[in-house]
Amino acid sequence: MAGKIETRLAELGVTLPQAPAPAANYVPFVRSGNTVYVSGQISQGPGGLIVGKLGADMDVPAGAAAARICAINLLAQVKAACDGDLDRLRRVLKLTGFVNSTADFTDQPKVINGASDFFVEVLGDAGRHARSAVSAAALPLGVAVEIEGIFEIA
């Protein structure tokens, strides 16, 4: 039987992927007490990598969509950290978003809103969080966005 969060995801038409494996010598998440620290998740969805540079070949709505994909991948990692029981997630504490952007692009917060808005859609007030949104000259594999997160679980 699907839990409350899984039901909400289904209502939104979102299917969580398998939690992506790390690409190097690190772990995808670390649990410490009731806190889960999730490694940066890149903009890689069912259709593959979402690559581009904001301010050059990608606009804010496309960047926000890439950030939403990152949030979905973060949630998949939280589900893995909770042994498959996503209803153990209590709240999103902090997101740090990195936006592959040109030197003169200044709308990083609008891009990372794609992730923030997703968490509020799914979790309501428990999805509201502290956040940073910063520019990066380049990101791994040329992706548009990478986001790491800190979550509280039961």
Query: Is there a domain that residue 138 lies in?
Result: yes
Query: Is there a domain that residue 33 lies in?
Result: yes
Q: Which domain holds residue 100?
A: 4-13+26-153
Query: For tokens 């709240």, what's the residue?
Result: 91
Domain containing 113 — which CATH number?
3.30.1330.40
Query: Is there a domain that residue 115 lies in?
Result: yes
Burial class (CB in 10 A: 0-12, 13-18, 19+), 120: middle
Query: Is there a domain that residue 53 lies in?
Result: yes
Assign 3-state DSSP to the chain and report helix, strand, coil percentages, each to 5: 35, 30, 30
Query: Is there a domain that residue 18 lies in?
Result: no
118 bridge partner residues: none
- Domain count across the chain: 1
Instruction: Place 2 in a pLDDT band, splitting at 50, 70 and 90.
Output: low
DSSP 22: P
For residue 149, CA distances in Å to 2, 56, 86 come to 24, 27, 15
Residue 153 host element (H or E): strand 145-153
Residues 105-129 pLDDT 10s: 999 999 999 999 999 999 999 999 9
Instruction: Place 1 in a pLDDT band, splitting at 50, 70 and 90.
Output: low
pTM for the model: 0.96
Query: Is there a domain that residue 21 lies in?
Result: no
